[in-house]
Amino acid sequence: MAVIEAAGLSKHFQARRGIFGGSRGVVRAVDDISFAVESGQTLGVVGESGCGKTTTAKLVLGLEEPTGGSIRFEGRDLQGLDAAGRRHYRKSVQAVFQDPFASLSPRMRICDIIAEPLVTNEDLSASDVRKRVLRLLDLVGLAERSADLFPHEFSGGQRQRIAIARALALSPKLIVLDEPVSALDVSIRAQILNLLRDLQEEMGLSYLFIAHDLAAVAHMSHTIVVMYLGKIVEIGDARTLARAPKHPYTEALFSAALPSHPDERREEIILPGEVPSPLNPPSGCRFHPRCPQAMPRCGREEPVLAPVAGRFVACHLYDQARQ
């Protein structure tokens, strides 16, 4: 069963000239995308700056209102939720961010940081709160005495554990993980990724995992979404997609991922140019100006997601194979 289902989800921003200036056009940060996060599974989102992955995370967290389409949580549309339903949703969807030095208040003790969501959302006695905090600390592998310390007394990896404990405080269904290990040292990353996986198995958590480290995404995810300029270009089973990408952009992206061994010989696809401005995206397929396999029709018609080799791809290359 899907915990979260997005259908035709869009977020368009009005770009303005100065404070009083007129509209300069529309930035389609997220443009008509659909995906689902299954219960107990991880959906990985990859793409480069400006592809819309952070906007997608904000939409799921309810930090932005969609300008089109819908998000359904446990089968119910978020738009139609009453106040109680909204509160339930906010408790069920939590987030862990990239920088554990910025996401924890330096003036609060660890127990207060972790207890904050409990105190604001649940009616518990002080001793119950303390008990819950200690259990959460144990769950993320921190000693009991950590509770009375301040964030500066911890290393990056330990801080990220604290951020995870806080996210777990309200027993959420879904956690949005926005680059959860990229600020950490290499030897610490594996600790945190393992912890996240263990917690998922123990508690049946679902993750929306956003990262630029493709190998980490492939390792953690059940399904991978590849985004380019606000559109999904490929979506499918993580292993299938990582081993044999089909969309030319996915191919280039995965070929640009660094090898894990010097003897690993791969075809390097170096894409020309850079991601175009989302204010003025190319016509037709948004990837066509950089695509090594672009055809005349790619500049005219926008491809739609369609099944190719066990996953969905939005590319005209596969039109004929399908017919």
Footprint on this chain of other proteins (rule: CB under 8 A): 48-49, 155, 157, 185-191, 193-194, 197-198, 212-216, 218-220, 242-243, 252-264, 268-271, 274-275
- Based on CB atoms, which residue is closest to other proteins, 23 or 260? 260
At closest approach, how far in Å is the CB of 55 from other proteins? 16
- Based on CB atoms, which residue is closest to other proteins, 165 or 218? 218
- Based on CB atoms, which residue is closest to other proteins, 128 or 198? 198
At closest approach, how far in Å is the CB of 119 from other proteins? 31
Copy the structure tokens of residue 27.
């930035």
At closest approach, how far in Å is the CB of 69 from other proteins? 27
- Based on CB atoms, which residue is closest to other proteins, 252 or 305? 252
Measured distance CA(260)–CA(249) in Å, rounded: 21
At closest approach, how far in Å is the CB of 37 from other proteins? 20
Measured distance CA(208)–CA(57) in Å, rounded: 8
- Based on CB atoms, which residue is closest to other proteins, 121 or 191? 191
At closest approach, how far in Å is the CB of 230 from other proteins? 15
